[in-house]
Chain A
């Protein structure tokens, strides 16, 4: 009967909500989900060299606005769709529009670790998606912001499942920001240089530890499965390419500083990714 007692308020709440609002159709939401996902990756559906960010975000964003306007009282639905919309605007570097949507999200209405985490980091994500593509070195203020982003990401990642998609996504953003900070650092004094080297090693180690130490390492070394097995999943394939490219970028940055650090975990040292 305990279960019954626990569930009854839930059921009553559902009944109450029913009385208050109309209802969205599954089809509308299904379309929105599909359209936003297609818009998110539309630059990558072209050849990589010709990939350009266009206006693919506009229509899905407007559709979500229309749906939300129709069902303003359905809090969970509204807030999770807002996250989807805000993230799309973030990826398309629509800073102001993205910010407006992120601010309107009520965190206590979000229920999944992915959407809660994105919401927890949104300010830094909006900044980073705009800033990442600019060559100019980070200035002092930006470095401060980037370091705050690292702390924020570290904190957020503590609350998500190890190895989950969102864990790897946030860890990747973190490794990118850390690389940019190191790359743009002043190494004119031995102390600075030592610190930059230490940061590079620590950041890459943290990134490598997001992945499966043995399987991913073997795959990266050979650029394919060594045991002749088929692709485990496209997701894993993507993450392995990320790890390989990230190691390559970190090593290249260290080389450009004239550093020869001892990387961690150990296997990174012997890895020939060039």
Chain B
């Protein structure tokens, strides 16, 4: 770790260099020219035959040609004999070889890089096909720098280099804003190891820490308060996690964490949320929680290497969620030797690593999961034991992960659409923890059920319908959590699927379907015992009857929004008088009789429109008609029957008032 004095000095140097923009460019250019590798091949070596080889070859030549006439060696015969047997001189021998045995004179060639390229192509054809990689193979690194400029200077250059990546505006911000300097100083203090310019991994670590943290700082610069102890706490937690990993892996481990997409967002959250809302006293406690959490990440990565990328990308999201929960629930989450927040975070990451489907969870979903889990535990502290023992947390996370991972769902819905639903769902859970305390699988039942059921309907309006069904159901469940006991989610899912099919069959428009789903989710909640316990088919029969009538001769009256208003009124009427209706009208004939009633009502309405009533009062009149029918007050469903006619007129008149 660098001393505070060295850090201060490095910051001053960086400041000085940045103010001199041209000098900065020069330093970076010089660094490039000095440090970049040279791709040097070694020469091929041509080796002549050795002296014994040449003597042997020439001796054979003398022998083979001794009887030739004319003598092919002429006057050279004696010279060759002298050179071979009396006074061997390599230069002379080689001359004779070139003259009389030119092919043998070629000897052999030692081509080190030629052999390398051949072997490279044979053994690693994919890599050898890449010209850039081939060039890399020849690199001779610059090696040690003899200048012996001190470490502070070199570290300052590294800072300058990283800042230069962010462009002129942010470099200038560094010189102006002491808060940015403080943060850079804090990073240098923790990760500016003395041998930063010698060890590649340490250099990478400092660069990664600077780059990632500054990314977060620059993004959150409008609101941050760097005077608090929170950024220090974050960096301390990272440094402590770094030290806890075996030495040979620690730099790589931390570089991996810093490269994760969640880290800059986490920095931003620390600067904005923590520094703005939370008390500095909690920072130290949070540091310990974060450090333990990071140790857990390291252990999981070691045990489950396939989760490394996921955890590197998302550890920042999880910790950010912890921060959000802290801001919401207060420092009590950090109290005790083993704080609640730590238990939740460690448990969440453990469960995520156990679930292969968790890889499909987005950053927002992870934040939502932690937020909701902390909310549940804060509301019901005894849940912390169940989290692990009774697999409460596993059920909760799995119910979301399995839903977003399902292939059919991912085929039907866009990623953004599902993420938005998950976000809303988890937001509601966080606001109403009681929903998941009793039923951790609620996400699967509601969201998974709705999405699967709409997905089966194969309608183009899937996302709008899912949003209406889930959104409406969440509002209803939040207002009346006991709905969960009545299998409300399952019924909503089934009805959403039915509505989806009606849209696909063009019996309903998308706008109508969305309104109907909103009405359905609300109405089912008005009398859950009736719709969800006494007769689960009631709501579906009602929808079927109304839609069937809208397709008939009176369709003109039930167009557009009128249809949804009519359905809403009728559902409300059934909610109020459904039990009586079921008593007076057996289940098997319920839908058909309701359809007949509505047809009779519409037939009368057609005649009375402009006389006793206007179109806007049609939904109310039909609703009242259904109430009367439910109570057994209508004996005949003939629109021309005197009693029916009288009743309808009364209803129309009172609706007009």
Contact = CB atoms under 8 A, between A and B. Distances in A.
Interface of A: 1, 3-4, 6-7, 10-11, 14-15, 17-18, 21-26, 28-30, 32-33, 36-38, 40-41, 43-45, 48, 51, 74, 76-77, 80-81, 84, 87, 91, 111-116, 128-129, 132-137, 139, 160-161, 164-166, 169, 172-173, 176, 179-180, 183-188, 223-224, 231, 234-235, 237-238, 241-242, 244-246, 249, 252-253, 256-258
Nearest to A172: B42
Taking chain A's interface residues, is the majority helix, strand, or loop, or is none over half, making it mixed? helix
A3 B107 contact: no
Given A44-B41, A169-B42, 18 more contacts: A3-B152, A17-B23, A23-B25, A37-B37, A44-B138, A48-B114, A77-B29, A112-B146, A132-B45, A135-B47, A135-B94, A179-B110, A180-B47, A183-B50, A185-B50, A188-B51, A235-B139, A237-B116
B147 to A, nearest CB: 5
Residue of B9, B39, B48 most packed against chain A (CB within 10 A): B39
Nearest to B27: A14
Interface in B4-48: 5-6, 9, 13, 16-17, 20, 22-23, 25-30, 32-48
Interface of B: 5-6, 9, 13, 16-17, 20, 22-23, 25-30, 32-53, 88-91, 94, 105-108, 110-120, 123-124, 127, 131, 133-147, 149-150, 152-153
Contact of B134 (A41, A87, A256): A41
A235 B56 CA distance: 41
B527 to A, nearest CB: 66
A137 B16 contact: no
Given A74-B30, A245-B115, A169 B140 contact: yes
The 6 closest A-B pairs by CB, nearest first: A113-B143, A37-B39, A132-B43, A48-B114, A18-B23, A112-B142
Contacts of A113: 142-146
Contacts of B107: 135
B35 A253 contact: no
A169 B106 CA distance: 27
Contacts of B38: 36-37, 40, 84, 87, 114
A132 B46 contact: yes
Contacts of B120: 234, 237-238, 241
B43 A112 contact: no
Residue of A24, A91, A256 most packed against chain B (CB within 10 A): A256
Contacts of B119: 223, 237, 241
Contacts, number: 270
Contacts of B140: 114, 165-166, 169
Given A17-B23, A87-B40, A257 B45 contact: no
21 contacts: A7-B150, A14-B17, A14-B23, A17-B26, A26-B29, A30-B32, A33-B36, A37-B139, A76-B33, A77-B34, A115-B34, A136-B91, A164-B144, A165-B143, A169-B140, A237-B137, A238-B113, A238-B116, A238-B120, A245-B110, A253-B50
A80 to B, nearest CB: 5
Nearest to A258: B52
A136 B48 CA distance: 6
B33 A188 contact: no
Nearest to B111: A48
A1 B137 contact: no
Given A132-B44, A132-B45, A136-B91, A241 B34 contact: no
A4 B152 CA distance: 10
Nearest to B131: A45
Taking chain B's interface residues, is the majority helix, strand, or loop, or is none over half, making it mixed? helix
B52 A257 contact: yes
A87 B36 CA distance: 14
A11 B117 contact: no
Contacts of B141: 114, 164-166
Nearest to A224: B123
Contacts of B124: 231, 234, 237
Contact of A15 (B23, B46, B137, B147): B23
A115 B46 CA distance: 27
A74 B23 CA distance: 11
Nearest to B88: A188
Contact of A137 (B26, B27, B34, B91): B91
A129 to B, nearest CB: 5
Contacts of A128: 43
Contact of A241 (B26, B28, B115, B135): B115
A76 B115 contact: no
Given A169-B40, A253-B50, A25 B25 contact: yes
A163 B88 CA distance: 41
B118 A48 contact: yes
Contacts of B147: 111
A172 to B, nearest CB: 5
Contact of A7 (B27, B136, B143, B152): B152
Contacts of A137: 48, 90-91, 94
A18 B42 contact: no
Contact of A33 (B6, B33, B108, B112): B33
Contacts of A258: 52
Contacts of A48: 111, 114-115, 117-118
Given A30-B32, A176-B110, A135 B143 contact: no
Nearest to B142: A112
Contacts of A246: 110, 112
A251 B434 CA distance: 82
A59 to B, nearest CB: 16
Contacts of A28: 29
A48 B114 CA distance: 5
Nearest to A252: B108
Given A44-B117, A48-B118, A161-B143, A172 B48 contact: no
A105 to B, nearest CB: 13
Nearest to B50: A256
Contact of B22 (A7, A23, A115, A235): A23
